[in-house]
Structure 1
Amino acid sequence: MNLDQVGYIDCHTHLADPMFEDDIQKVVDNARKSGVVAALVCAITPSDFPKVLRLCDQYPEILVPCLGIHPVQKDLTGEQRCVVQKDLDGVLTEIECNAEKICAIGEVGLDFQPRITPESSYKDVQRSVLKTQVDLANKLNLPLNVHSRSAGKPTINALKEFGARNVLLHAFDGRPSTAMEGVKEGYFFSIPPSIVRSDQLKLVQQLPIENIVLETDCPGLGPVKGERNEPANIEISCDYIAKVKNITPLEVKKITTQNALKLFPKLLKILT
């Protein structure tokens, strides 16, 4: 495979988000024009599952689905709340039924923002939900696409404790020293375009390039706060990493693509 021609892999998106409903064709076309050859589309809530699967069926040559339950859900009024076991119980069978189709279990993880986990019992529930999904990923031999907001160290410790094997920690906001504990386990870390306005320079400096992949997390985490992000911005992450690592953007593209294919081998079906 000629990686000069393969292009970028966006390892974490939310292209099934309502923000893309009106112009998804244009967004996908822009991604292709920018050199994106594959993008992982992650679910957050149970209601996302059919949307993610339908969208990836619509664009099978570039989009691949990830199904999982996020630690932050929404109540009937749209307000964010902590996940509960019931959120996951209702979709476990659906994840298993789509095991051949999905690229990873995700988005899963921990989110210990005080407003989401006002009491320690909420954290225990999140850990339980995460453990169930780690066990499922191991059973199905699938990677994990992991969220760890305000919970970098607890997330890595939990993943180690639960025996997680193939892990992507997306948009990691923990300390670089904590990330290096994940590196020891062989975990990968994806860097979004918001890196140009964040304080995570030291993270990119310390992470080995062999453990870095690219993401946009669109529609969030774009280069300009408040503006809708999309996969076409992946080059911004690549160029930033190249500057920090003092290597060429082409080298970053090639290495991060190799890393993504190692972590998500099902992508080879798209790229070959």
Structure 2
Amino acid sequence: MDGGFIDCHCHISAAEFTKDTDDVIKRAKEAGVRMLISVTEEASEFEMAVQLSKSYSGLLAPCVGIHPVQCSDSRQHRSVTIQDLECALPLFEKYRDDIVAIGEIGLDFTPWYTPYPQQRAEQQQVFRKQLEIAKEMDLPVNVHSRSAARQTISVLKEQGIGRALLHNFAGRPSVAMEGVKAGYCFSFPPAACRNEQRATVIKQIPLEHICLETDSPALGPDKHVRNEPKNIVLSCEYIAKVKSLTPEKVREATTWNAVRLFPRIGKILNQMTEPVLETDQQNKK
């Protein structure tokens, strides 16, 4: 399947986009973005994420999940707690028919967020519970794994997860290959262009297991400037350069990978452009 980019991990419901969402979406479309998979971090975002998907029907697909790092009342970041998840549990059920995945969920063992073993244990408890929800709903997961790549993949495998996107993956190549063997996909934002170590991982991962993301509004080409989904083009070009492929080849492959990973977006795109998808599927046989 070709014809546009799929941004598999962005934050359209983030406060940074509130004032100019229309313009951000317009620029994304002009850059060739065909679908935005928008994740949440906190329960307070769930309703907005789903409402935005209705406002931009056919272009924006929501995921809902509780991130391993939360904002406290003082806007300081802290490790997630069971209480953070409990208030979201009814919302997973409420929006189960509207979402395409559970996310952003995962583990973040950055020392200043999780200095104590009990915090890491609680993060894993929250992560496992959301993986159970994903399995019950037969949905893929959109996963965060900072300073915890090996542990994250281990938990995914233990829980029997078959479809997972490890976004902004920064683990070792050997750890990435464990995820590849389990059938997982990996995505890299524009900021990867600034990190030579990331190129080593990208070289190792087969193209069939790579997706595109921006993680906007964070992780853009310039860390001091708000990132936008339009910058998905930069991610594509960088991956193409690292793997000695054409950007067109990377765009086509990553779009197909995204549809395979997130079946519900395939249904959305089929409704929009059914003849294109049917022709492509026939060509794949």
Q: TM-score, normalised by structure 2?
A: 0.92
Check the 8 A contact 1:69/1:108 in 2, yes or no: yes
Deviation at 1:4, TM superposition (A): 3.3
Matched residue SS, 2:146: coil
Query: Conserved in 1, the CA contact under 8 Å of 2:2 and 2:255?
Result: no
C-alpha deviation, 1:68, in angstroms: 0.6
Kindly, what percent of the aligned residue pairs are identical?
46
Aligned to 1:133: 130
**Which ranges of 4 or more aligned residues in structure 1 deviate by more than 2 Å?**
none
Partner of 1:39: 36
Deviations for 1:216-269, whole angstroms, at most 9, x for unmatched residues? 000001011121111100011111111111111111111001100000011123
| Structure 1 SS opposite 2:139 | coil
Distance 1:98 1:219 in 2: 24
Q: Which runs of 5+ in 2 are unaligned?
A: 271-285
Bigger Cα displacement from structure 2, 239-248 vs 127-136: 239-248
Amino acid at match of 1:223: P
Question: How far apart, CA to CA, are the structure 2 residues paired with 1:269 and 1:157?
Answer: 31
How far does residue 208 in structure 1 lie from its aligned partner after superposition?
0.4
| Structure 1 stretches lacking a partner, 5+ long | none
Task: State the number of aligned residues.
Answer: 269
Which residue identity lines up with residue 254 of structure 1 in the other structure? E
2:10 counterpart residue number: 13
Q: Distance in 2 between matches of 1:100 and 1:194?
A: 33
**1:142 alignment counterpart:** 139
Aligned partner of 1:72 among 53, 69, 74:
69
Match of 1:206 in 2: 204
**1:90-239 alignment, distance < 5 Å:** 90-198=87-195, 199-239=197-237
Q: Cα RMSD between the aligned structures?
A: 0.9
SS of residue matched to 1:181: helix
CA distance in 2, matches of 1:159, 1:137: 11
Question: 2:225 aligns to what SS in structure 1?
Answer: coil
| C-alpha distance in 1 between matches for 2:249 and 2:17 | 31
TM-score by length of 1: 0.97
